[in-house]
Structure 1
Amino acid sequence: MAGATNAAVPTLIGSVQRALRLLEAAGAHEGGAPAKQLAREAGIPLPTAYHLLRTLTHEDYLRRDKGVFTLGDAVGRLAGSERVQNRRSTLEDSLTHWRDAIGVAVYFAVYREGEIELVAVADSPYAPAVHEWADFRETGHAHAIGQCLLSQLDDDARRDHLDRHPVQPVTRYSVRDRAALMERLEAVGRREPVVERQEYALGTVCAAIPITAGDVAATMAISLPLQQEARLRPAVEQLQAGIGSLLASLAFSISI
């Protein structure tokens, strides 16, 4: 049985290689090419090429029209996935830089389709991230990231969010009710950081900086152990000073 399995591996690899050569051949012809031409250019026997072309067409990697094959939508999605990964890598590199420069855990989050979405985190053993012990999306009223994002929404969007995710204490330091939260959010200045002390996680202080990136509410945030609270304000100021250099990667990341 093991021998049969091992023998199948080169066969599968060979099929993938031949399929990729067919895609490369098709991609070299903007207006498409017939099966015989693609088989010849890829160096594949015509019967094998026909089989692979049918499979690639079925999976939408190729399109066949009047006997001519062109690249399909699935190829574009692959390229799009690579671009998304590159954008995410750029964002993560930026967060890692600031984690190391300031010595704190750094977060990037957006408000997308009615929910709080934590896009990326850079932490380390010496700068650990806050443990998500309660669903981050449902407890936005209790942490700095959520409060910062909610403060950027208009009244209708904010009320809609709180209707779906009601305010309730998460720790003994959390905001107690919706009215108190709304009053706090309305007091937040447009460019002011939001600071939260032990409202989501005991023993932790956090600050979130609002990010202007198109029409999407976004934020960068940091967290520190409570005993290091004296470092919070200088760390926020250092991050704010460098936020301009980050805007390009942050704006790209909103589309991830």
Structure 2
Amino acid sequence: MSSVQRAMRLLECVAGHEHGAPAKQLARETGIALPTTYHLLRTLAHEGYLRREKGLFFLGAAAERLSSSGAQQKRRSTVIEALAHWRDSIGVPIYYALYRDGEIEVMCVSESPGTPAVEEWADFRETGHAHAIGQCLLSQLDEDSRRDHLGRYPVESITPYTVPDSHSLLRRLERTRRMEPVIERQEYALGTVCAAIPITMGATAATMAISLPAHQTDRLLPAVRRLQDEIGQLLGSLAISISI
């Protein structure tokens, strides 16, 4: 255990030297005996956690992968916590999704016993034309990308309220105003209404959405507007990772 602790101290010390540091300096700053420092540095370099250039030690690829993974997990935790906060404060399930590599991906769903999410009874990826999440994502794509998606996942009725054909869907998407919520009423699941908000993430189409029982339709627009306001206030400090 003591060897692990010393190795970690050396890694932390190296991380504090952007332009690298020699073994003697690292031994002095960590208080580790020079022979032990040399031994640990050689081991860490062999395992890829450090690299040596002209007598100076720098963080290696393995350490950088650990750092990247930790940062990604932190971003994911931040997003999950934000969605849970909005779920409880607004009283609706919250969905976060994006369009990546030609596919609709629901990255995170925050629900509770009192605010259950919609059951995915038909594959979300294949039924983007029928739910608010998919319609919101498709509305952010260019026409060629929309047609490509619908060529792979043709429009089909899954409830009596589903948009009837691709032409009708494309016309609806063209009329969708930028940054306006997309509303869907029982097109994906009978008894459920949904709304989705476009999220600006560079070139990536993303969205956050909510759902409610159909008998609470009057809550839908006020709830999604509140979510939109809260997201706008938080985006300055919350970097939503596209890869969470």
Normalised by the shorter chain, which TM-score bucket? Answer: 0.7 to 0.9
TM-score normalised by length of structure 1: 0.78
CA distance in structure 1 between the partners assigned to 2:43 and 2:126 by the alignment: 44
Are 1:194 and 1:208, in contact at CA under 8 Å, matched by a contact in 2? yes
- Which secondary structure does the structure 2 equivalent of 1:142 belong to? coil
Aligned twin of 1:10: none
Aligned twin of 2:129: 141
- Which secondary structure does the structure 2 equivalent of 1:132 belong to? coil
Identity of aligned residues (%): 65
CA distance in structure 2 between the partners assigned to 1:133 and 1:63 by the alignment: 51
The correspondence for 1:164, drawn from 128, 152, 157, is 152
Aligned twin of 2:83: 95
- Which secondary structure does the structure 1 equivalent of 2:116 belong to? coil
Are 1:198 and 1:205, in contact at CA under 8 Å, matched by a contact in 2? yes
Q: 1:56 to 1:84 in 2, by over 3 A?
A: same
Aligned twin of 2:183: 195
Q: Which has a greater percent of helix?
A: 1
Once the two structures are TM-superposed, the CA of residue 124 in structure 1 deviates from its matched residue by 1.1
Aligned twin of 1:65: 53
CA distance in structure 2 between the partners assigned to 1:29 and 1:246 by the alignment: 33
User: C-alpha root-mean-square deviation of aligned residues, in Å?
Assistant: 2.9
Aligned twin of 2:99: 111
- Which secondary structure does the structure 1 equivalent of 2:154 belong to? coil
- Of stretches 36-45 and 241-250 in structure 1, the one that deviates more from structure 2 is 36-45
Are 1:87 and 1:252, in contact at CA under 8 Å, matched by a contact in 2? yes
Aligned twin of 1:26: 14
Q: Which amino acid aligns with 1:217?
A: A
Aligned twin of 2:32: 43
CA distance in structure 1 between the partners assigned to 2:62 and 2:110 by the alignment: 32
Give the gaps of 5 or more residues in structure 1.
1-12
Q: 1:32 to 1:187 in 2, by over 3 A?
A: closer
The correspondence for 1:123, drawn from 107, 111, 122, is 111
- Which secondary structure does the structure 2 equivalent of 1:192 belong to? coil
CA distance in structure 2 between the partners assigned to 1:26 and 1:54 by the alignment: 14
TM-score normalised by length of structure 2: 0.82
- Which secondary structure does the structure 1 equivalent of 2:205 belong to? strand
Aligned length: 243
- Which secondary structure does the structure 2 equivalent of 1:84 belong to? helix
Q: Which amino acid aligns with 1:204?
A: T
Structure 1 segment 171-182 matched on structure 2, within 5 A = 171-182=159-170
Please say if 1:218 is aligned against 2:206: yes
- Which secondary structure does the structure 1 equivalent of 2:235 belong to? helix
Question: Deviations 1:102-141 (Å, cap 9, x if unpaired)?
Answer: 2111122222332223233222111111223333223211
The correspondence for 2:223, drawn from 235, 243, 249, is 235
Once the two structures are TM-superposed, the CA of residue 81 in structure 1 deviates from its matched residue by 2.8
The correspondence for 2:192, drawn from 179, 196, 204, is 204
Q: Which amino acid aligns with 1:168?
A: E
Give the gaps of 5 or more residues in structure 2.
none
CA distance in structure 1 between the partners assigned to 2:76 and 2:105 by the alignment: 14
Q: Which amino acid aligns with 1:194?
A: V
